[in-house]
Chain A
Amino acid sequence: QSVLTQPPSASGTPGQRVTISCSGSSSNIGSNIVNWYQQLPRTAPKLLIYSNNQRPSGVPDRFSGSKSGTSASLAISGLQSDDEADYYCAAWDDRLNAWLFGGGTKLTVL
């Protein structure tokens, strides 16, 4: 059972905007930055958003991140079929001295 809570699934049609939530607590999201990783089918995870809302070089600006209190969100606008993947949030937990991942959200493009 993950300490960071994500919806197990999300979906949208091409061109739509979808958001994926990540809920934590004061010892993790409430105190530290949140990162988001994208895992395409049968591949290794890839950094998508770091430090709550920063995009690494090469990540399209269709992807954006935000954080408020003990929750964070990933938004994907202009949805494309290539965006079908699993998305994971991650945050350091000060109480556990451990990195925590959310359970992952499987995004389906209808």
Chain B
Amino acid sequence: EVQLVESGGGLVQPGGSLRLSCAASGFILSNYPMNWVRQAPGKGLEWISYITPGSDKIYYADSVKGRFTISRDNAKSSLYLQMNSLRVEDTAVYYCAKDDTSGWYSDYWGQGTLVAVSS
């Protein structure tokens, strides 16, 4: 059974940093592209970042470019999101999502971890 479990969320002050992790199980992480998607309270979904299986291609949304860094450790079956220079508007539930091998759709999502940016 495919499982994605996010962790690392919490309350942080504006300008602070946080590192999210996504533990993958039930499949071989090294075979699949992965994404981070967030959802602000009461709002819609916003794609944040995408990484290919070998980390050779990485894309970011303009809203986080230069502040967030996606990475993965296939040997540890883990996906990461390093978030720096956090802003109040980064407050959201952050989901990791597994793509199918083509990278054209996300077939499994984690339950999310809440990041709250507030002073």
- Measured CB to CB, the residues of A under 8 A from B are 2, 32-33, 35, 37, 39, 43-47, 50-51, 56, 86, 88, 90, 92, 96-104
A44 touches B104 (CB 8 A): no
Given B45, B59, B104, which contacts A98 in the complex, CB threshold below 8 Å?
B59
A50 touches B105 (CB 8 A): yes
Q: How many A-B residue pairs have CB under 8 A?
A: 60
A44-B111, A44-B112 known; A98 vs B47 contact (CB < 8 Å): yes
Would you give the shortest CB distance from A94 to chain B, in whole angstroms? 12
A44 touches B44 (CB 8 A): no
Inter-chain contacts of B109 with A (CB < 8 A)? 44-46
Given A32, A47, A99, A103, which contacts B47 in the complex, CB threshold below 8 Å?
A99
Would you give the shortest CB distance from A20 to chain B, in whole angstroms? 13
- Measured CB to CB, the residues of B under 8 A from A are 35, 37, 44-47, 50, 59-62, 95, 97, 100, 104-112
B45 touches A101 (CB 8 A): yes
SS class, residues of chain B in contact with chain A: strand
SS class, residues of chain A in contact with chain B: strand
Complex A-B, nearest 4 residue pairs according to Cβ-Cβ distance, in ascending order: A99-B47, A50-B105, A104-B44, A44-B109
Given A2, A50, A88, A100, which contacts B104 in the complex, CB threshold below 8 Å?
A50
A37-B45, A44-B112 known; A98 vs B62 contact (CB < 8 Å): yes
Taken together as a complex, chains A and B put the C-alpha atoms of A51 and B102 apart, in Å, by: 11
